[in-house]
Structure 1
């Protein structure tokens, strides 16, 4: 009986103070970043701005074939995610692809 009494007093009467409701003010931000590393040939970046439900942005990435891929997008209310993809440059492929040829090992 004493265990039930202790358990009843140990049980919290109130819910934790978490508020999962929608924020009182609409989201508003602007963020961007870029990375360029000539050693490893990395070049990419991203920019996005949001004001309430209106979101727009773009990102770019240097592809392994040498082209630059650019994506511009927007989201406005219920329109969903709308993107436009473009490429700059021409794909370049080396004449001879390096291949892996393991050396036999005899024990």
Structure 2
């Protein structure tokens, strides 16, 4: 029993003699991060990218997106506690709009529907006691 007590006391003395090294975590360190991403999908033509970094209370970044007309919109931005959020937007490239071609002989905008949609009016005699008839249907005027 005495031997056990001496062993426990010796182990306790060794444990106290070598202090555990503590790692200090600074909970008040200034925030800091960097990130970026890119998307390039030729199937959907979704093309964009962004990067951003923060050091302390200041954030700077940029994002780019390819617009449907082919131009590239670029936004450079900064944000801080003194100036707030500021963005500078610019475009690069020239807009390309497809030529619209109209087929057919004109008339109803619904001509692509089988036969078109007809909305016709037939007026009865003005003083003959008849009524105005308005017809709706497919296939042209009634």
Aligned to 1:35: 39
Aligned to 1:93, which of 84, 90, 97?
A: 97
Name the SS for the 1:78 alignment partner: coil
Question: 1:102: Cα distance to partner?
Answer: 5.0
CA distance in 2, matches of 1:81, 1:40: 32
Alignment of 1:6-21 (within 5 A): none
TM-score, length basis structure 2:
0.52
Distance 1:56 1:97 in 2: 45
Q: Between Structure 1 and Structure 2, whose CA radius of gyration is higher?
A: 2
Alignment of 1:60-79 (within 5 A): 60-79=64-83
State the TM-score, normalizing by the size of structure 1.
0.67
Aligned Cα RMSD in Å? 2.4
Structure 1 residue runs of 4 or more that deviate by more than 4 Å after TM superposition: 97-104
Which structure has more relative contact order (CA 8 Å, sep 6+)? It is 1
